[in-house]
Structures are given as C-alpha cells and as structure tokens.
Amino acid sequence: MRTTWHNPQALLTPQTSIEEYMSENIKHITDTSFDADVLKSDRPVLVDFWAEWCGPCKSIAPILEEVAKEYDGKILIAKMDVDANQAVPAKFGIRGIPTLILFKNGVAAAQKVGAMAKGQLTSFIDSNI
C-alpha cells in the first residue's frame, strides 16, 4: 500500500480565503437556513463551524472539499461561519473551531473539535453514518 501525504497548507496561501477555495460541493449555511438545510435534510449532514481568521479551519478546508466529492450523495457537507452566524453555534455550545458536528435525522449524532487528517475525517464519518 502506498501512502500519499496531503499538505492542505500548500493549497491555501495567506491571501487565499476559505470561500475562494470552496466549490459547489460544500453548502454554505446560515442561522436562518440551518433548520431547512441540516435538521430537515433527508441525508446526514456534516457541519463545519469555522471562521476566516482560524488557521486550523483553513487547513481543513481542502480536506473537506475532497471528502465532499468522495461522499457526494451519501452525506452533505456544510460550513457555517461562526462570526456571521452566532445563534446556531451558541445553541450547540461551540467554543473552539473548527468544530465538526454530524447530524442524522435532525439530531447531532457525533462531534469532533480541531483540524484532522483526511483519514481521520473519513473514519469519523464512516463510523457515524
């Protein structure tokens, strides 16, 4: 088995914002859209609570993009900017970012805090969907 090392920092420069990197594979959600996009979704939703100034959030962004493509149709990956949307993060007690919460059937089923490697993220998803 061959190991491929992934360097997410190489994909983002200090001048690159997370939004510039993301594509249609990841849904941007807000306090207003949260219920419809996450709680009422017919498939599991992994929500990344993040902020533009957060270094670890920037490092996990390209990993989430890859995983969103690989899990297309199985789960939805969404991102919520905690600076622009404060009600939902407060409701779920978000204190550190990035925080990833996997929602199933409208319920928070699993949570991880901090950036992680792609293998750790896929293991987290696979063990909880």
The domains found in the chain, sorted by start residue, are 18-126 (3.40.30.10)
- Of 70, 50, 69, 45, the residue nearest 60 (C-alpha): 50
Residue of 45, 46, 47, 54 marked active site: 54
Residue of 47, 57, 64, 75 marked active site: 57
Q: Is 100 a catalytic residue?
A: no
- Of 6, 46, 42, 9, the residue nearest 26 (C-alpha): 46
Q: Kindly list the averaged pLDDT for each block of 10 residues, start to end, along the chain of length 129.
A: 40 49 81 98 97 96 96 96 98 97 97 97 97
Q: Is 54 a catalytic residue?
A: yes
- Taking the whole predicted model, whether its pTM rises above 0.85 is answered as no
